[in-house]
Structure 1
Amino acid sequence: MADNDEGPTAVASLLSAYAGRDAARHRLLWTLDARLARLVASTTEPMIGQIRLAWWSDALTDESGVKGRGEPLVDALREAGIAPPTGLSDWLDGWESLIGEPDLVGYAVGRGGGLFRSLAGEDDVPDWLIDAGAVWALWDLSGHVSDVATASQAVAMGRDRLLSGQPHWPRKWRPMRIAYTLACHDIMRGRPAPHGLTLRLYMRLVRTALMAR
């Protein structure tokens, strides 16, 4: 299954489907994450990338609803009542950490932790959920960077951040639990994430979802 250039990745679309009545909200948040990923990937001048990320921050936090009006994703997030999403500042900071000299720790905690907090839709979440998001973000990055050394570093850092014990995942956090479990499978084996939704990853996702009810 190919990724959609205008929406969330194929994996994110499947994860959203397990959010039940929250599926539409999850899909919008994953769409925003995919948009930010493309923004960072296409940035060649750090200052330009920072300006573009600042635009998203300004648009999504504008209480007047004027900034960013007419941008379909901004309008959709506002209509859904999730502008700004919970955890947006950390989320954007995480993506900014990849611009210029990469800061993988800042990226992992910011992007992964901010995204998982946004998906949870709660300001007050346990530290382990942020850590789980960081592990997932490192795994995801390992499947998208062309530099083998960076991919290996991301996997090693993810292994060091794996959760200890078995935290209680609320049922409504099922999509994040599935995402984290998928990441753990590869990270514990020292493997980077596959690039895109392979048949093997799809089957693992379905099995994980059945066990994470």
Structure 2
Amino acid sequence: MGLAKETLGPLNQLLIAYSGSAQRTAHALLWAYDARLADIVRTTREPMVGRMRLAWWDEVLRDESGVKGRGDPLVDALREQPGIMAARDDMLAMIDGWEVLLDPLPLDEDALRSYASGRGGGLFRALEAGADPHAGALWALWDLSGHIGDETTAQRAVEVARSYLPVRMRGGKAVRLATALARHDIARGERGPREMTPRLYARLLRMAVLGR
């Protein structure tokens, strides 16, 4: 899965490594898809252009003929993976979630909840059919709080994320680890990290080994 490794950060790659061998390729592709949507939002200067770029993905996912987007390495890989397109509705929800971040900042509580349920809930459901969508929302807000430049939105993301506690630790090991990382910081009123740190790496390993 060279494609996924090229587009994902260290934390995502570690979470993929902890997914079951039968799920690893699908997980890598879904995380790569999330990263592609993130890149669209991050590199957009004109909201209308960003919405058009996200709409392209909406069309790709809805295209039953499999023609739209053909030749794009990620699109081709997603379509070749058995069963992954069964999560199309959840992947479409992720587009809606990311689109919220094209609105003017700071984002209010309703906007943050829409983002969290779309991106995080959609992603977690796509990764694991039995995952708690509230856990996905918690994780998405934790992740956003560590990366968005707007101070008000970052702090508000933490406050909104706390309303999703407690969450059910359901799904495979990778999803449960992602949930545990987010829960650890949000329960303390802390933002997510901007980058992978030795402290975060050690915490992830401890959780993986001890389950807490």
TM-score (norm 1): 0.88
Once the 2 structures are TM-superposed, how far is the Cα of residue 94 of structure 1 from its aligned partner? 0.5
**Aligned residue for 2:115?**
107
Pick from 80, 85, 88: which aligns with 2:87?
Answer: 85
Structure 1 residues 168, 160: CA separation in 2 closer, same or farther (over 3 Å shift)?
closer
Q: Is the 8 A contact 1:131 1:163 kept in 2?
A: no
**Aligned-partner SS, 2:103:** coil
**Which amino acid is 1:83 matched to?**
M
CA deviations 1:96-119 (Å, max 9, x no partner) are: 111123421100111000000110
The one-letter amino acid paired with 1:85 is A
Give the direction of change, closer, same or farther, for the CA distance of 1:191–1:168 in structure 2 (3 Å limit). closer
Identity of matched residues, %: 50
Aligned residue type for 2:95: L
| SS of residue matched to 2:120 | helix
Runs of 4+ in structure 1 displaced over 4 angstroms? Answer: none
Do the aligned partners of residues 40 and 84 (structure 1) sit closer, same or farther apart at CA in structure 2, a change above 3 Å counting? farther
Residue range with higher mean Cα deviation, 137-146 or 85-94: 85-94
State whether residues 97 and 119 of structure 2, in contact with CA within 8 Å, keep that contact through their aligned partners in structure 1: yes
- Separation (CA, whole Å) in 2 of partners of 1:212 and 1:78: 34
1:206 matched residue in structure 2: 205
Per-residue displacement from partner, 1:76-126 (whole Å, max 9, x unpaired)?
111113236341121111011111234211001110000001101x3xx47
Determine which structure has the larger helix proportion and give its number: 2
How many residues align? The count is: 201
1:131 Cα offset (Å): 0.4
Instruction: Specify every segment of 5 or more residues in structure 1 that has no aligned partner in the other structure, as ranges.
Output: none
Residue 193 (str. 1) matches residue 192 (str. 2): yes
Q: Does structure 1 retain, via aligned residues, the 8 Å contact 2:169–2:176?
A: no
> Match of 1:83, SS?
helix
Across the aligned residues of Structure 1 and Structure 2, the Cα RMSD in angstroms comes to 1.9
Q: What residue is the counterpart of 2:160 in the other structure?
A: 157
Classify 1:150/1:195 alpha carbon distance in 2 versus 1 (closer, same or farther; 3 Å). Answer: same
TM-score normalized with structure 2 length: 0.88
Structure 2, unmatched stretches of 5+, are none
Letter in 2 for 1:8: L
Post-superposition CA distance 1:119-152 (Å, at most 9, x none): 01x3xx47xx110000000000011011222111
Q: Distance in 2 between matches of 1:193 and 1:175?
A: 17
